Chain A
Amino acid sequence: MKIQTKISLYFVVISIILFLIGSFISYYVIEAIILDEVDEALLTEEHEIYNSLKTNKTPEVYNSTIYSDITIGDVVQKAYRTFSDTSIYVSEEGETVLFRQLISVDNLRGKSYTITVRQSLLEQEDLATGITFTMIGILVSIIISFNLLGIWSERKLWSPFYNTLSKLEKFEIHKVTPLVLPESKLKEFDKLNKTLNELSSKIVKDYKNLKEFSENASHELQTPLSILRSKLDILIQDKSLNESQSVNFQTMYSAVNRLSKIINSLNIITKIDNEEFSKTEILVINNIINSQLEILDEVLATKDIRIEKEFSDTLEININKYMAETLVSNLLSNAIKHNIDSGFILIKTGSDFLEITNSGNALSTSPEEMFLRFRKESLTSDSTGLGLAIVKGICERYNLSVNYNYANHQHTLSITVIK
């Protein structure tokens, strides 16, 4: 729900409540004022009649109407005046009308005179209807004008906000350009834009630093590793080494080796994440598969792994060449590494997919974790556990989906082009 709609809704609800209360109050206030006025008028009239009775002394001539009436009776002990409401049928109007009446009883010249004066009251119903219609009229016009104002303000006042929003949506961190949002005359939006500008330049700066750091870190680590390895290369030449020293040196040597491989893989992942390798071209993946298989020829022969190819169609992808080679070689390496002796690798391609199936033992962990960094099967702890993380990184980069499936001692990794 839009803010404007929400505000309008609250406004309508509150207005209706306020107008209801207002209507009731005005009804009773108006009614009280009218009654007060009528009572005053009745008193004045009664006084006039009474005064004329005093001077004329002939009450009999007084015509009796529904508005005024004089009756003569016996002397009363005490004079009094009472106001009351009464309904009387008026033949001219053909309906019962509400009247306010003043009955005044007083003694005059040995008789009692009862003077009744009446005035028709405005019908309560009419008053209520009048007030209701007036209130509804005001309410409707206020709501309409408020909504018109809302529409106008959304178009006019909120336009900097929508502008900012659309720029934010397009903001991409690796583009390394911070947001440039314009100044706004409205204080809130101006503050928002300023904050976002600052935030984005800080993010971009941090991102750059992090990128540089991870690049430099993996790069800088290679030099100390080179030193370590070169010193070990020299140390193992020592002819006086005993068996346990040899074993220790061997352990150190292979640790250095593994460290170097991990750093290399991390380096590639960092580069993929940082969107290096930007130059792309349309490449036939089938050709890359063939050339990578050639490179792996000796390994395949040594491990006695059979290659089967089912190229039903050529797969063409717009991709960076190095990334394509890395992708294919990592997939094939994975299929080799997790294969069994005298196993097989089946490579299928179609116009929009690549599928690599290899024989192998069941996974010991869940398939979802496969693409995580440093996840690996305990069986081949020599691997860095980064191969499939690299595959995933490349696939995400080039809009490819990667899926894993295991059935009947066969692992299948399929890469599909997302249309």
Chain B
Amino acid sequence: MKILLIEDEIELRVSIAEYLSKEGYICETAINFEQAIEKIFTHNYECIIVDLMLPGGSGLDIIKQIKQNDISGGIIILSAKNSLDDKILGLEIGSDDYLTKPFFLPELNARVKSIIRRKNFDGKNEIIFNEIRVSESTRRIFVNNSPLDVTKMEYDLLLYFLGNIGIVLTKESIAENLLGDNADLMDSFNFIYTHIKNLRKKIISTGGGDYIKTVYSIGYKFGE
């Protein structure tokens, strides 16, 4: 699966590409407007990650080109500008998601996966990990085919874990995934621990494995 990353900042480009490559994607990069245009017209990508501020032009114009020419592939905007107008405009002209810098790499990873999933299996949008099956369209979790009664937070938590299997997730990134900007209203990350404890208990009691591991001081990791 090929991803195009359009980002002018070299270090960020390297980090994202490295991270996504580990996830099994082939990550190609473009460093400016011209290169990006050239690549979207000559190759097919499952997902295109666009920085809005580029040398030679705006990321928004690239998205317009993609849409006008019916080029397939999901689009995620990366922007350093935390501007509502840009966000609305970006989504209006056809981008699928929007991330504000500085973002968490696992968050980007989860969103890339989610978009590719949505594009590829329209309708029957499912994530399967061993005995765990998540139906994104109905927002339900099944373990060994029996439905799991989970809260919204627990569902989001599992989805975030499944999007980042084998990756260490920091408490900060989990908190932001669950609560967005409201994450900093919490005095501590204890609430994450509570949700994880409950989720783990529910999965195990339905015959599932114990996949959530604590990483000392940093956070958690989901995997075998």
| A interface, CB within 8 angstroms of B | 219-220, 222-223, 225-231, 233-234, 236-237, 243, 246-247, 249-250, 253-254, 256-257, 260-261, 264, 267, 295-296, 298-299, 302-303, 322, 333, 336-337, 380, 382-384
Interface of A is mostly: helix
Would you call B185 and A299 a contact (CB within 8 A)?
A: yes
One digit per residue, 1 when the CB lies within 8 angstroms of any chain A CB and 0 when it does not, for chain B 176-195 equals: 00111010111100010010
Would you call A253 and B16 a contact (CB within 8 A)?
A: no
Would you call A226 and B170 a contact (CB within 8 A)?
A: no
> Any chain A CB within 8 A of the CB of B216?
yes
**A336 surroundings in chain B (CB, below 8 A):** 185
> Any chain A CB within 8 A of the CB of B218?
yes
Closest approach, in angstroms, between the C-beta of B169 and any C-beta of chain A?
Answer: 9
**How many B residues have CB within 8 A of the partner chain?**
40
8 pairs, A vs B, C-beta closer than 8 Å:
A225-B101, A230-B102, A233-B104, A234-B15, A295-B180, A298-B178, A298-B179, A299-B186
Would you call B102 and A231 a contact (CB within 8 A)?
A: no
| B interface, CB within 8 angstroms of A | 9, 11-12, 15-16, 18-19, 80-82, 84, 100-106, 152-153, 167-168, 170, 172-173, 178-180, 182, 184-187, 191, 194, 215-219
Q: Using A253-B218, A264-B82, A298-B152 as known contacts, say yes or no to A231 and B104 having CB atoms under 8 A apart.
A: no
**A223 surroundings in chain B (CB, below 8 A):** 9, 12, 80, 101
**B84 surroundings in chain A (CB, below 8 A):** 322
**A267 surroundings in chain B (CB, below 8 A):** 82
Closest approach, in angstroms, between the C-beta of B54 and any C-beta of chain A?
Answer: 12
**B81 surroundings in chain A (CB, below 8 A):** 219
Q: How far is the CA of A222 from the CA of B99 in the complex (A)?
A: 12
Would you call B19 and A299 a contact (CB within 8 A)?
A: no
Would you call A333 and B185 a contact (CB within 8 A)?
A: yes
**A333 surroundings in chain B (CB, below 8 A):** 182, 185
Nearest B residue to A233, CB-CB: B105
**B216 surroundings in chain A (CB, below 8 A):** 243, 246
Would you call B102 and A228 a contact (CB within 8 A)?
A: yes
**B167 surroundings in chain A (CB, below 8 A):** 237
Q: Using A233-B106, A322-B84 as known contacts, say yes or no to A222 and B191 having CB atoms under 8 A apart.
A: no
Nearest A residue to B105, CB-CB: A233
Q: How far is the CA of A296 from the CA of B178 in the complex (A)?
A: 11
Nearest B residue to A295, CB-CB: B182
Question: Which listed residue, B153, B184, B186, touches A261 by the CB 8 Å rule?
Answer: B184
Question: Which listed residue, A222, A250, A380, A384, touches B101 by the CB 8 Å rule?
Answer: A222
> Which 9 A/B pairs are nearest by Cβ-Cβ distance?
A230-B15, A226-B102, A233-B105, A222-B80, A225-B102, A226-B101, A222-B101, A227-B11, A246-B217
